[in-house]
């Protein structure tokens, strides 16, 4: 997975940044990719434990709660 740097730059600008360096966008993109990967794996494990192949919004919410405890 690779987030477009323009999208990451837009997120930073919406948060209030006036100027964004390429390295800042790259660093945030790398962090977000790692976080989304962990969240996705956790959500998949929850769905699998429930006997489902489909990940639902409830799985994502529960995975988010579990990851906050770490």
Residue 62 to residues 9, 26, 59: CA-CA distances in angstroms?
Answer: 29, 28, 5
Q: Is 70's pLDDT higher than 70?
A: no
Mean pLDDT of the residues in the chain: 96
34-58 burial code (b ≥16 CB/10 A, e <16): eeeeebeebbbebbeeeeeeebeee
Query: Please, what are the domains in the chain?
Result: 5-68 (1.10.20.10)
State the pTM of this model: 0.84
Q: Report pLDDT digits (tens) over 10-51.
A: 999 999 999 999 999 999 999 999 999 999 999 999 999 999
The pLDDT-based confidence of 57 (bands split at 50, 70, 90) is: very high
Residue 5 to residues 34, 46, 52: CA-CA distances in angstroms?
Answer: 15, 31, 34
């Amino acid at each position: 997975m690779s987030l477009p740097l323009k999208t990451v730059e837009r997120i930073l600008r919406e948060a209030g940044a006036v100027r964004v360096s390429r390295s800042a966008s790259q660093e945030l993109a790398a962090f977000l990719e790692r976080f989304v990967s962990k969240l996705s794996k956790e959500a998949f494990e929850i769905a699998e434990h429930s006997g489902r192949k489909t990940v639902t919004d409830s799985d994502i919410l529960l995975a988010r709660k579990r990851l906050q405890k770490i």
